């Protein structure tokens, strides 16, 4: 397999964390937002990325919506 990392192609802006870095910390990012903190200060690369990546924005918006609605992040599984 000779796949160019998608992350590399999407790194349009300087400081952009890219999709791979973003998805790992989206949960924490949303938690900071809900806590009234400024997530862009903690995860500046993710903040930049969210501005330029519709896919991650959608993920972020979904997490934020779910967190607001249910007061918790993600499905509660006990497997």
Interface residue list for Zn ion (CB under 5 A): 19, 53, 56
What is the nearest approach in angstroms of Zn ion to the Cβ of residue 60?
A: 9
Choice between 51 and 72, CB closer to Zn ion: 51
3-state secondary structure of 5: coil
For 78, what's the count of Cα atoms within 13 Å in the CB-facing half-sphere?
0
Residues whose CB is less than 8 angstroms from the CB of residue 4 and which lie 6 or more positions away in sequence, other chains included: none
Choice between 30 and 70, CB closer to Zn ion: 30
Choice between 58 and 70, CB closer to Zn ion: 58
Which secondary-structure segment (H or E) carries 32?
helix 18-34
What is the nearest approach in angstroms of Zn ion to the Cβ of residue 11?
A: 10
């Amino acid at each position: 397999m000779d796949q160019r990392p998608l992350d590399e192609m999407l790194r349009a802006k300087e400081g952009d964390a890219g999709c791979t870095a973003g998805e790992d910390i989206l949960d924490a990012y949303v938690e900071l937002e809900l806590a009234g903190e400024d997530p862009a200060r903690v995860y500046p690369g993710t903040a930049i990325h969210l501005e330029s990546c519709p896919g991650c924005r959608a993920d972020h918006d979904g997490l934020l919506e779910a967190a607001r609605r249910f007061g918790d992040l993600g499905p509660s599984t006990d497997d």
